[in-house]
Structure 1
Amino acid sequence: MPDLILHHYPSSPFSEKIRLALGYKKLAWKSVIIPAIMPKPDVLALTGGYRKTPFLQVGADIYCDSALICDVLEHVQAEPPLYPPHLKGVARVFAQWADTTLFWAAMAYNLQPKGAAHVFAKAPPEAAKAFGEDRKAMSSNMVRLRPGDATSAYRSYLRRIAHMAEEHDYLFGTDPCVADFAAYHGLWYTRAQVPLMADILNATPAVGEWMDRMAAIGHGAMDKFGSADAITVAKAAEPMPAGQNLLIDSAFQDDHGIPLGSAVSITAETFGPEPTQGVLIAATRTHYSLQREDPRVGTVHVHFPRIGYVLRKAEGA
């Protein structure tokens, strides 16, 4: 199998989720550091528009969104499982909540003025302004929590997680599952990136102990890799045939009246509204796949999860 190439940056919370998942499965991977804000020319050459972090590249196949990346990692190496058979349903439901409701409460708390000032303390003022404008553009479709409301919600969520962590080493038992990785990364940002905001964790010591166990998993065997090298890899590779890639399901599920072979766009429901356009080559119960052409990377297949993304016919199609 071609190398697993993760496009990420160090302070990205969702990247930490995937870095730990790679470590848990003891997978070797290549690390491409990408910009935190636009412009991202190499990113867009590969994804066609999607600019959220991280994304996973395997040859000329591009897997977007950390939820879908977890599915890919499970297919690449089944053990240890992210989705234990007896927890498949509840772990996925919890992970979806953690990646959305919990995460946005945590980040609204983390990046209130005091936290944001810490993040950009060593950066020039224009850097903070550019980051703010970039994230404002990405969240144009969202209702953002105010700091006080976010703090109240975050405290409540931490207590609920503590009730789980008091019962087991991990949230659902003796071993971590996808729920742990999804719940961890927003809290990791509190402790690792804005430590002056981390006092909120003190009221739930069981959460801190669980976080220590998660951090001890590590990031696995990582090698640094250049962005230009990743472009070269994609250009030299052929994407895997639809139905034979690293996503298990392949049967066509038509919920939109859009046949395969149509020109379409796929856009995130909320955060990151930039569309990716291409030809629809797969629409299964779990994911969409687009084929697209780019002068720098040739033919690539870009994959998205169904949940959280909107499929439309391309304008004029």
Structure 2
Amino acid sequence: MSDLIFHHYPSSPFSEKVRLVLGYKQLAWKSVLIPRIMPKPDVLTLTGGYRRTPILQVGADIYCDTALICDVLEDRQPEPPLFPLHNKGLARVLAQWADGTLFWAAMGYNLSPAGAAAMFMGRPPEEAKAFAADRGAMREGMTTPRAGDATAAYKSYLRRLANMLDGQDFLLGERPCVADFAAYHPLWFSRVVNPAMAGVLDATPNVIEWMDRMHALGHGQMEKFSAADAIGVAAAAEPAPLSEAVFQDEHDIALGSRVTISAETFGTEATEGVLRAATRTRYTLERTDDRVGTVHVHFPRIGFVLKEVRN
């Protein structure tokens, strides 16, 4: 079975979501550290355009977006499960809310003027400017809450999480599920990456206790790996055979068509390739690069836009 190669950087909240899933499932993985901001030439070599963090590589297969990565890890190691038997739909919907609405409220608070000043205190001014410019470009066309509105929403959402934790250790019961990992990572940013802003958590002590339980899951068995080695792995491998899942055509775009896939919001750079699969839950593009040869790049359907390339 091919190694799990995880491309991430330490302070990335979505990366922390997956690192904890790797810990929960006690998986071994190879860690490739990537830049926090552009340029990211090695990442784009693998994805063809997608630049959000993190990505998961398995041989010559590249998986984008943490929702899909969680599904891949669940298939790889079904126990312990990420999706509770009788609440799979609720867990997915709650995770989607946490990865979107909760995340942007938390980031609006964490990176408010006071939060940004604290996070970049003592660092060269150019670093803060470069980070702001990079994230501003990724948010182009998005409407995100202003700092005051985000702060108020974040506090309300923390109270709602606290209510969910009344009488139980995790959001949907006595063991963590995908919703816990999705809700944890924006709060982790407040507590760990920008601890000057962690006071917002004090009003919900059972949320802090839950965070401690999540932190205790660890990160699994991590081995350092270089970007050059990861590219070498992709170049030496062939994409895994695609399953015989039913082609679900919602766009009148045939398999084998040249297409682009891009995120609906935030980091909307497109990946272009040949559409090889469009199942109920995911897309697969085939693309070729001089450095890695042929790779398959996989995206979830939810949150992504498929378009045919017309000559």
Structure 1 counterpart of 2:232: 232
User: For 1:294 and 1:243, how far apart are their aligned partners in 2?
Assistant: 24
Deviation at 1:123, TM superposition (A): 2.2
User: For 1:308 and 1:36, how far apart are their aligned partners in 2?
Assistant: 22
Deviation at 1:173, TM superposition (A): 0.5
Structure 1 counterpart of 2:253: 258
SS in 1 for 2:234: helix
Deviation at 1:266, TM superposition (A): 0.2
Deviation at 1:236, TM superposition (A): 0.3
Deviation at 1:122, TM superposition (A): 3.2
SS in 1 for 2:126: helix
Deviation at 1:194, TM superposition (A): 1.1
Structure 2 counterpart of 1:116: 116
Any stretches of 5+ residues in structure 2 without a counterpart? none
Contact 1:24 1:218 in 2 (8 A): yes
SS in 2 for 1:86: coil
Structure 1 counterpart of 2:23: 23
State the percentage of identical aligned residues. Answer: 68
SS in 1 for 2:87: helix
Structure 2 counterpart of 1:247: none
**Bigger Cα displacement from structure 2, 158-167 vs 52-61:** 158-167
User: For 1:29 and 1:131, how far apart are their aligned partners in 2?
Assistant: 28
User: For 1:118 and 1:156, how far apart are their aligned partners in 2?
Assistant: 23
SS in 1 for 2:49: coil
User: For 1:286 and 1:57, how far apart are their aligned partners in 2?
Assistant: 19
User: For 1:105 and 1:65, how far apart are their aligned partners in 2?
Assistant: 19
User: For 1:153 and 1:306, how far apart are their aligned partners in 2?
Assistant: 28
Q: Does 1:52 align with 2:52?
A: yes
User: For 2:310 and 2:139, how far apart are their aligned partners in 1?
Assistant: 23
Code of the residue aligned with 1:152 in structure 2: it is A
Report matched runs for 1:1-317 at 5 Å.
Answer: 1-243=1-243, 250-316=245-311
Deviation at 1:315, TM superposition (A): 3.8
Contact 1:141 1:273 in 2 (8 A): no
User: For 2:32 and 2:266, how far apart are their aligned partners in 1?
Assistant: 23
Deviation at 1:114, TM superposition (A): 1.4
User: For 1:226 and 1:118, how far apart are their aligned partners in 2?
Assistant: 31
Deviation at 1:251, TM superposition (A): 1.3
SS in 2 for 1:290: strand
Deviation at 1:54, TM superposition (A): 0.3
SS in 2 for 1:11: coil
1:246-303 residue CA offsets vs partner (Å, 9 max, x unmatched): xxxx211000000000000001000111000000000000000000000001000000
User: For 1:85 and 1:141, how far apart are their aligned partners in 2?
Assistant: 38
User: For 1:122 and 1:299, how far apart are their aligned partners in 2?
Assistant: 44
Deviation at 1:141, TM superposition (A): 2.3
Deviation at 1:121, TM superposition (A): 1.7
Any stretches of 5+ residues in structure 1 without a counterpart? 245-249
**Bigger Cα displacement from structure 2, 109-118 vs 265-274:** 109-118
Code of the residue aligned with 1:182 in structure 2: it is A
1:16-75 residue CA offsets vs partner (Å, 9 max, x unmatched): 000000000000000000001000000000000000000000000000000000000000
Give TM-score, length-normalised by structure 2: 0.99
Deviation at 1:207, TM superposition (A): 0.4
User: For 1:87 and 1:17, how far apart are their aligned partners in 2?
Assistant: 20
Contact 1:263 1:313 in 2 (8 A): yes
User: For 2:123 and 2:68, how far apart are their aligned partners in 1?
Assistant: 33
Report how many aligned residue pairs link the two structures.
311
Code of the residue aligned with 1:62 in structure 2: it is I
User: For 1:190 and 1:4, how far apart are their aligned partners in 2?
Assistant: 28
User: For 1:141 and 1:230, how far apart are their aligned partners in 2?
Assistant: 33
